[in-house]
Amino acid sequence: MPLTLEQIRTNCKKARESIERARTGHYALGAFNLDNQETLIAVARAAKAKNAPLMVEVSQGEVEAMGLDNVRDMVENYKQEYGIEMYINLDHSPSVEAAKAGIEAGYEFIHIDISQADHKATEEDIIAHTKEIVEYAKLTGALVESEPHYFGGSSNVHTEAIDYDEIKKTFSTPEGAKAFVEATGIDTFAAAVGNLHGSYPVPKVLDLELLARIRESIGCNISLHGGSGTPGHYFVEAVKIGVTKININSDMRRAYRDTLEKVLAENKTEYAVVKLMDDVIDSVQAVVEAKLDTFNSSGKAVVGL
């Protein structure tokens, strides 16, 4: 059932208050990608078990697979069923039209990422499109996130090594972050400090000193994409610095697939797939719970206000 504009605005107001509490309390909301309903159940159960505020998110491929409104309705249903603080982020929305659709559907967080569809998009184009979404988001109060250039990697399990010499060429700078935030008016800046989409054979290394300088240069929220495969101590320090949103996808996908393959191998005569999903859900839930502890968000949920 569609939400009324009043309901959407209320949810967005709560989301803004939640992020402000995270900023003040030095913790981050985990943003966990959904592949299907089982993943959503795992995230919702983790939020309940840890009493933690969090986001679920879908990118364009997941929107096309599940439907923008269907995701919103499922999230609303599980939020009510479990009595949890949970929001929705439209992740890496590749166009103005797609981002506007997310705002109209009632998503509380919108990540407009023009460079996702066009890796060679100019900063001028990115700024212009981002400003348009910042203005449009005033309809509901949704929080808008963006960055001034393409962010590398993909939400998968990679076998190649990380080329840090190349990645460092795309690192955010305090000066660039400040200029972009001032030019666009965004609520959240997606910082690049060694984080990279996907998981890799070696752990990621974050430049925390650079992150601290970026934090000092801008007044808005900071997110970290590509959280999978990152040693937890980086996140412990990142939330102390002031990061309030951390994206996780590949670690969940690895747990999901590895567990599913094991369950299928052990149950070759069972064709009722629903009976095979308990262990899969449990394994994804365990990943989410561990992240919530690392992000210092366990015990921080506010429900019912």
Q: What is the mean pLDDT of the chain?
A: 93
Which token pair is 61? Answer: 């491929």
Which token pair is 216? Answer: 């000092």
How far, CA to CA in Å, does 243 sit from each of 49, 51, 106, 239? 23, 20, 24, 5
- The predicted structure's pLDDT at residue 154: 60
250-272: pLDDT as tens digits: 999 999 999 999 999 999 999 99
Q: Are 204 and 194 in contact (CB under 8 A)?
A: yes
Residue in 178, 186, 67 with CA at minimum distance from that of residue 129: 186
- The predicted structure's pLDDT at residue 158: 65
- The predicted structure's pLDDT at residue 210: 97
210-263: pLDDT as tens digits: 999 999 999 999 999 988 889 999 999 999 999 999 999 999 999 999 999 999
90 has pLDDT over 90: yes
149 has pLDDT over 80: no
Helix (H, G, I), strand (E, B) or coil at 216: helix
156 has pLDDT over 70: no
Q: What is the pTM of this model?
A: 0.94
Residue 69 known to be catalytic: no
Catalytic choice (35, 69, 91, 118): 91
Cα 57 to Cα 251: distance, rounded to the nearest angstrom: 15
Domains in the chain, please, with CATH? 5-294 (3.20.20.70)
- The predicted structure's pLDDT at residue 162: 67
